[in-house]
Chains A and B, each alone.
Chain A
Amino acid sequence: MTATTLAGLTGAALIGLGLYGVLVNVHALRKILAFNLIGSGVFLVFGLVARRGAVAGFAADPVPQAMVITGIVVAFSATALAIGLLLRLHERRVEDAAAESDNRSDNKSDKT
């Protein structure tokens, strides 16, 4: 079992665990974290593609490394967007719940 094969299996395992997490978890934050886990697995696979594509003199093929960098940026922005939406959703839910209980207490006071 070479290092490359081990890396590949790890990557696959990360992807698998991440998929499981995305599918099974109910809370959005956990889904986002699981998505990042998948992302890490995919980047690991890219890394090993780079290693396998190494030509004379280089330790690894630079193109997949460039792709990983881009991928990390994209995944980061995706996570940021998702967290932003999640935070705003949470705030909004709190506001809505407060407004509703205000309404209910108003209605109660109307009745008395």
Chain B
Amino acid sequence: MTALNPASLWLLAMLVVPLAVLAFAVARPGRFGTALLVAAPLPGLVAALLALGGEPMAVTFPVLRLSLALDRPGAILLGAAALLWSLAAIVLPSFLEGDRHARRFVVCWLLTLIGSLGVFAAADLVGFYLVYALVSVPAYGLVAHDETAASDRAGGVYLAFALLGEALLLMGFVLLAAGEPAGSLRIADVMAALPRSPWAGTAVALTAAGFALKMALVPAHGWMPLTYTAAPIPAAAVLSGAAVKAGVIGLIRFLPFDLAGSGEILVVFGLCSAFYGVAVGVTQLNPKTVLAYSSISQMGVLATVLGMGLAAGDVGVRLDAAFYGAHHVLAKGALFLAVGVALSSTAGRSTSFLLLVAIVGLGLGGLPFTGGALAKLAVKDGLGKGPVGMLAVASSVGTSLLMTHFVWTLTRLAETGAERRVPRRLWVAAAAAAIVFPWLLAMILGGEVASLLQPAILFASAWPVALGVVLWLGLVRVRGLLPAVPPGDIVGAMERLFRASYGIADGFAWLDDKLRQWAVAGVALLAVTVALLVAL
């Protein structure tokens, strides 16, 4: 290992501490302190804060061929993600009380945690692929935890999309590595070699496609509603908050922002997702499903931001996108915890509770004075004033509409009982983090926060939110006219298509039957001989 400064040790601890907790959880079945689960992500949080403070941090493991480095966008996302993982872990003791599969859940939780934190710091291709696999594959255990038909289906669909995305990503990474003449696998070297690589276009397209699957951009979005509905509350909170951002950091790292490229495709997919998520989300009645569609919409907005940055060749969009993503991490995580509060106690009906939920939710649409408003302002310049900018404002309206709908679905939620309790205080802490964290972050990053409190800017943030709420009030009257869309919408069609392909397997079985007859195999042997002879 290269000589480490103290700051880099925290980067190392970020991966080592959860591994140690994992070993402890596996070796000592039964009660292990869930305090450990809360503490496990904290070294990551410290590392993020140190990096934001300007400390250079890098670690290289020579044997494992893995290197870690933290830059500002990575640090922003890492800090938010680590905070969310820690908060969500507080809920786990009550959730796993008496659960037969507690150990399995904890193992999958810790593996996904390691992947989720590591992906923001990975600095070489193989290392990135490793932690990306860790954040995607063990999450199956979290999704399918309840072992109902719905959760099994959700788990299967999730894993199918995850592996498909990883296959695309692998091909993209191989192309990136092939384009690097010196054979270095460091992301910085590989991206620097991109202009001269003959496979640049295909490489970027494939990696972007892989990350788009992770971010659930339309039309590869079907798994998200199923997954977040089926997963238990703490899992849904971390998956929608932190794990999905692996796709975001991927786009931040692997899109060649310094070469103005064809980001228009990304913008188109992003805007489609942004509006599609809202359109289908208002037809849903389960609050978790509504949140999932909201995530699809928000990831669409992020993709639009990154696409516009790519088209304009603007390197600064990385920081803006990371900032927006960080707010989404905390806000979405907090909202899932709110669903947990509503499910577990009558406190979920009180006005103060619903008001706080509305503030956090509308923050996603850009409610003034919340962290969300700051996030929207950060990306506003990148979106420009043209048609894309106007559509982005329209999507803020849509988000506010969807979030109002979400609050309404919470009021209609049947309380399931107090066994799996989400403490109200935890929810308030998470909500506070979502509202306040971006302001703190902006101040650390040296932005002039005071100038953002001018009336003109406040009004520009406020009117889309107000419009969204008003539209919803109109929409609720025509509720009956909305179509009943099953959660996951087009996934059902994809599943049917997949099952139709089983016929191909039957064909293979028939072929196998024929080939395994002696005479046919013998003739095949002669045929192979002749084929080789002709080819030689």
Contact = CB atoms under 8 A, between A and B. Distances in A.
Contacts, number: 10
Interface size class on chain B is: under 10
Interface residues of A, number: 5
Interface string A21-45: 0111010000000000000000000
Nearest to B519: A23
B519 A24 contact: yes
A52 to B, nearest CB: 22
Interface in A5-61: 19, 22-24, 26
B498 interface: no
B522 interface: yes
Contacts of A19: 522, 526
A20 B523 CA distance: 10
A19 B523 CA distance: 10
B518 interface: yes
Contacts of A26: 518
A76 to B, nearest CB: 23
A23 B526 CA distance: 10
Contacts of B522: 19, 22-23
Contacts of B523: 23
A85 to B, nearest CB: 16
A22 B522 CA distance: 8
Interface in B498-536: 518-519, 522-523, 526
A84 to B, nearest CB: 20
Contacts of B519: 23-24
A4 to B, nearest CB: 24
A35 to B, nearest CB: 12
Contacts of B526: 19, 23
B182 to A, nearest CB: 51
B533 to A, nearest CB: 15
B363 to A, nearest CB: 76
A24 B523 CA distance: 10
A14 to B, nearest CB: 16
B466 to A, nearest CB: 83
A19 B518 CA distance: 12
A23 B523 CA distance: 7
A95 B268 CA distance: 73
A34 to B, nearest CB: 11
Contacts of B518: 23, 26
Nearest to B522: A23
A19 B525 CA distance: 11
A24 B519 CA distance: 6
Contacts of A23: 518-519, 522-523, 526
Interface of B: 518-519, 522-523, 526
Given A23-B522, A26-B518, 8 more contacts: A19-B522, A19-B526, A22-B522, A23-B518, A23-B519, A23-B523, A23-B526, A24-B519
Interface of A: 19, 22-24, 26
10 contacts: A19-B522, A19-B526, A22-B522, A23-B518, A23-B519, A23-B522, A23-B523, A23-B526, A24-B519, A26-B518
- Nearest 6 pairs of A and B residues by beta carbon: A23-B522, A23-B519, A22-B522, A23-B523, A24-B519, A19-B526
